[in-house]
Every structure is written in structure tokens, then in C-alpha cells.
Amino acid sequence: MSNLKTICFIIQARTGSTRLPDKMLLPFYNQKIILDLIIEKLLERFMPQQIILATTTNSKDDLLEQVAIKHRIPFFRGDENNVLKRFVDCADANHVKHLIRVCADNPFLDLDLLCELIESIDYDKVDYASYCINETPSIKTHFGFFAEYVSLEALKKVQSNTNDVLYLEHVTNFIYANPSMFKIYWKHVPSLITENIGVRLTVDTIEDFEACKLIYKSLIYNQQLNYLNIINYINLHASLKRTNDFSN
């Protein structure tokens, strides 16, 4: 059976951003928020039951729960600050063993790259899989094209080996900080990505939000929202190049 049929996507989202408060609720395109667009993109290729929103028990995130209900996908409410626990509890509650962690501040998640990663994974031999960019895990960059695979067993192993706040907030950092403890698979990105470090498409600030909003609006009209067209567009508009500091 194809991995694409057995994988589950857990979308990490909350309204309590410190750098850009309520960014998850800001209209991004046609009155839709970024979370709407990510869910709709995943629904183009995957079944609703494969896509789960993992948000927090904070009452402010009731609005995000309503987004999941609108799109008829499952949702889970868990710990606001211990994101690792939220993921483990979400996976357990939904009987998920193999999951893709999707960050809801990446409107340009590239499904072709993601599907290539998923299909290259051998579940019996891999605890964690991701793209690697100039020897850096893609999740630690701000390109915004990527998600990452991790097994529930690996997340529980992290949980039993650390109480460090850094690793509770950044779910997979402990794994690639301790490679001897896990079976890790790194997939290399196309050279166009490694050659364009000035591409930053993760939304952390209002400047990020406005730049990404402009790019999305410019390219969505003919469905050109893949990494190749996006990078070429940014290269033609120098003002859209931003700092990609390769850190969480």
C-alpha cells in the first residue's frame, strides 16, 4: 500500500503568536485565512480523516476549531505550551502511528515535494524523515515549502528522554540533535532551493504576512504555487527577498 494512503497530517496551529498576534485569523486571500488554504490544499490529494488540526485548549482557539469543523476534518485540543505533548496526545487519540507535522504558518507548503518525501520513507527503517538544505533540517529554515515525517514511537521516545522546554516547544529538534538515538532519513532538495537562500515564506511577522500575501495573490490565478514558480517570481521582484536565518 502506498504511504500516501496510510499517513496522517497533523496541522499545528494556535492564535497565541507573540510576534504577530492572531496571525492565524488574519484574512490572507479571498477572506480565507492561511489555515483554510493549507487544509484545502491537503484535501485536493488526501481524505479528510487523514488531516487533523491540533490546536490548544485556550478559548481563543475556539475559532480555529470552527475552521476544522467547516472543512469537515478532525481536530484535537491540547496543551498550549507543551507542543510535543499535544502531538503525542493527538496521535494517540486518533490512533495515528505515522504522521506528517505541518506548520500552519506556511501558506506555500509544496505538496509535490511532500509526496516525494512520503513515498521515499520505509516505515520499518525510519523514525524521522525530512528534507535537508545545506546540512540544515528544512524545518529549521524559513523557506516555508516543507513539512516533516515522524513516527509516534519516536515522539514518545523524545518525551521519555527530555523535559527541556526547547524540545517541548519544538517537537522534533531533540531527534536531529541526538541522531544516534533515532533512525533518520534526509532527502536532498532541488538545487534551485539551495541556490536561493534569500527566499523566506514562513509567516512570523507582519512583513512576512504582507510579502507572502502579495506572492500568493500574484501566482494563484493560474495555479503556479509550486517552489519553482515561486522562487522565479521572487527573483524577478528583489523587494520580496527576505532574510532566511536558518533557526527556530
- Give the amino acid at 1: M
pLDDT tens for 219-229 read: 998 777 999 99
Q: Percentage of residues in the chain with pLDDT exceeding 70?
A: 97
CATH superfamily of 3-240: Spore Coat Polysaccharide Biosynthesis Protein SpsA; Chain A (3.90.550.10)
Q: What is the DSSP letter of 190?
A: P
pLDDT tens for 148-176 read: 999 999 999 999 999 999 999 999 999 99
Handedness of CA 92, 95, 99, 103 (dihedral sign): negative
In this predicted structure, the answer to whether residue 248 has a pLDDT above a threshold of 50 is no
What would the grid cell of residue 72 be? 469537515
What would the grid cell of residue 59 be? 478559548
Instruction: List the domain boundaries for the chain.
Output: 3-240
Query: What is the rounded average pLDDT of the residues 65-79?
Result: 98
pLDDT tens for 32-49 read: 999 999 999 999 999 999
For the CA atoms of 213, 219, 146, 212, what is the dihedral angle to 10 degrees? -20
Nearest to 56 by CA among 44, 68, 45: 68
> What does the longest C-alpha to C-alpha distance in the chain come to?
48
Question: Can you give the pTM of this predicted structure?
Answer: 0.94
Torsion-angle region of 13 (φ positive above 0: left; ψ -120 to 50: alpha; else: beta): beta
